[in-house]
Structure 1
């Protein structure tokens, strides 16, 4: 197992673990070990820092390094002209250029995926339509490793749509090369019993921009963890998330944004709504501004709207800064119920209470929906949110 634990000159122990001390658990996000070998990871118990908010007992099938049957997830790709598709064995570039498994399911997915699909937008190509990858589960356990690459000065969007039923461990490796502008959208509309563990790792090179969007609406346990490194000078990372948890659902995202290059810009905003007994959401946001990331401008926020008793939202923002030469950095978190003043304002204008509550929820979540920039998908998500509200009984 490999770890990158390098203390800064004159540093002292960090409140989340300390540098290089064997007697203190590693908790700082940037210090986590990684390995391509599943044998280097123990099965999670729920006591580990990166698993302590996750219902690990429901994930047991994804902790076994056993060959999964083929055909558990059907794959249908719709790609406009100009997109390159092929398959990559381990060691075939660019597979593994940036991806480093940090937990057992991710390492298992790495070794189980004999030929990882590559979706590449060639240099200088601008896609008029998004690439849509429809993944439909038919039941059972599945593993996947996917590589998405935007070459120099390319422009395009890739949508990963997850539907049906399966227990899936998935790796998504994303490379945005110099001057590119790439959007990756991961949409989870699984059936109620599905389990989805996904590790997204991305590198954004010089003057490139990555917009990364996670939308989790369906599934029993859905955990999508994006890790984005702004490696090149002038790189930008826009990380957005939307979730709506119903009774019995666990929707989670652990976000890591590493400002590594100078003059990089980061914007992280995740919003969630919850309704129903035992509805649960977890958001952990870690931002690291490295020692060479001078001129950085970064902000992360998480907002949650709890609609009924029995629902719970955990929100943990973290910020590490290793240089004092920055433009700005901050983080925020808020979880609460309906704003009585908003409801009063709407009701005072003749809007019925149920309709007023519906409008408040839609207005709260639409900030993320409207950032997607694809009208048909925005309409689909708005309708899905309305359906969630109608079926959940929170209004």
Structure 2
């Protein structure tokens, strides 16, 4: 199956966007002063940043609809197949030390009625991993990638979307409290393809994911949605970069997070670049954070770089705050208790993201997970 081929564009050089490279030496051990690392807990991530051998693997539970195939390719082959080379040390080590990549292929013109489902489980191992999802032209599919258990997991994930394809890619980080997960998810959107990604981060001591996307030709549409719930002592960081490198493309980013407990920390970095060639594009990015208790910190940094004025529209927004007093007053004026009113506000805050997962049983599980998180500060639902 031929992967989409990106048209050549000028290389990007910026402290905000490291030059992609498979060479580990091109990604030195960070000191914490670099722009891409200044929010990250390097001490807690030491295992993912150290070039140490490991033959450990996560346990796989997988379900593939008819027609979907999987194979293992070498490290050298994987370097020729990725959507983008690694952009940080964690993903460069993952690509180099994973022993190759697992490739999952959806055939061209396939209309999958069931999701491609992969659940990766750990029992305390240190693991390098590389996954490549190749989505055939004019196909329709949902990809569900779940992480659970305990591990120090460094990963590189590539999603290659063929021309005219429609794909819903869902990544769920539901680790145990001691897990550390870092990596790079890269998406290449084919000509006239429609791509939706949903990233959910609920568990783990540290979760740090860089998510990049670019277009293989005009007409592509990209929607990126995210949800994170951060507890005491937990660090969750999402770094997004959408590269509008082709004309007549569209992107929309909407990430929402809630924080509770002493030392809860979230980081969201949203970068959008509109290149000179990317005329007649539209883009918008939004990040909303809901602080439920004292002692939390949410960093939210949207960036928009525009190299051409010939665009349909571009914008960004970022909000961080506590409960909306007007919403609470409205609910309480109708006889709803304060605790239940707060719960309803948070459910509504996340519901619009969760419903986009597109797998009913997973949506139900995620709403249950949000309820369990809320019970920490608001008590069990009666």
Shorter-chain TM-score bucket reads over 0.9
**2: CA distance, partners of 1:95 / 1:135:** 25
Shift of 1:123: 0.5
1:118 to 93, 103, 127: 103
What is the alpha-carbon distance in structure 1 between the residues aligned to residue 216 and residue 109 of structure 2?
20
Deviation at 1:44, TM superposition (A): 1.3
Q: Counterparts of 2:33 and 2:103 in 1: how far apart (Å)? A: 35
Please tell me the root mean square deviation across aligned C-alpha atoms, in Å. Answer: 1.6
Structure 1 segments of 4 or more deviating over 6 A? none
1:1-395 to structure 2, matched below 5 A, reads 26-29=14-17, 32-71=18-57, 73-92=58-77, 95-393=80-378
In the alignment, the residues of structure 2 paired with residue 385 and residue 257 of structure 1 have an alpha-carbon distance, to the nearest angstrom, of: 28
Contact 1:231 1:259 in 2 (8 A): no
Q: CA deviation at 1:6?
A: 5.8
- Unaligned stretches of 5+ in structure 2? 1-8
SS of corresponding position for 1:56: coil
How many positions carry a matched residue from both structures? 372
Distance across 1 between alignment mates of 2:147 and 2:82: 25
Contact 1:307 1:394 in 2 (8 A): no
Q: What is the rounded CA distance, in whole Å, between the counterparts of 1:318 and 1:180 in structure 2?
A: 29
Q: Answer yes or no: is the 8 Å Cα contact 1:295–1:326 preserved in 2.
A: yes
Matched-pair contact (CA < 8 Å) for 1:230–1:257: no
Query: Structure 2-normalised TM-score?
Result: 0.94
Structure 1 stretches of 5 or more lacking a match? 8-18, 20-25
